[in-house]
Amino acid sequence: MQNPSVDEILSFMAKKLGGQENIPNAIRYAKVCAPELIYHVAFSSKNSVGDENSPFDEKTRTLIFLAVALAMKDTECIKTQLNAALTLGATKEELIALIKIVKHAAHSSVIGFAEPILESLSK
């Protein structure tokens, strides 16, 4: 089996993300100056979010990716994974729940980071 061309990978991305306009600019630039990076992204995606042997369905895998992108504050990934999630039928309720979970996780981490302060106050 032959590897897909860069254009075939981009076509698949466009379908997954809900249109050519939703392909990240960095990917567009990479096509021109470093097309090998597109292969790296595609390979990584196929073995993570695109893994058909995953115990999670495709929408759940995409929502997990979206949650991580949100936690990492990666605006471009948030946009692309939101488009992918919407293409897969993510609902308003699912997206609001995702935001609440990520918000809770982000705020809960403050307690962990405060350990030295809390330890000092506990003595």
Q: Convert the pLDDT of each residue in 47-89 to its tens digit.
A: 999 999 999 999 999 999 999 999 999 999 999 999 999 999 9
Q: What is the pLDDT of residue 46?
A: 92
Please tell me what DSSP assigns to residue 21: G
Residue with tokens 């949100």: 70
Asked which of 50-54, 88-92, 106-110 is least confident by mean pLDDT, the reply is: 106-110
Please tell me what DSSP assigns to residue 55: S
Q: Which CATH class is domain 55-123?
A: mainly alpha
Mean pLDDT of 32-49: 94
pTM above 0.75, yes or no: yes
102, pLDDT greater than 70:
yes
Tell me which H or E stretch contains 66: helix 58-72
1, pLDDT greater than 80:
no
Q: For residue 109, give both structure tokens.
A: 């981490």
The residue ranges of every structural domain in the chain are 1-47, 55-123
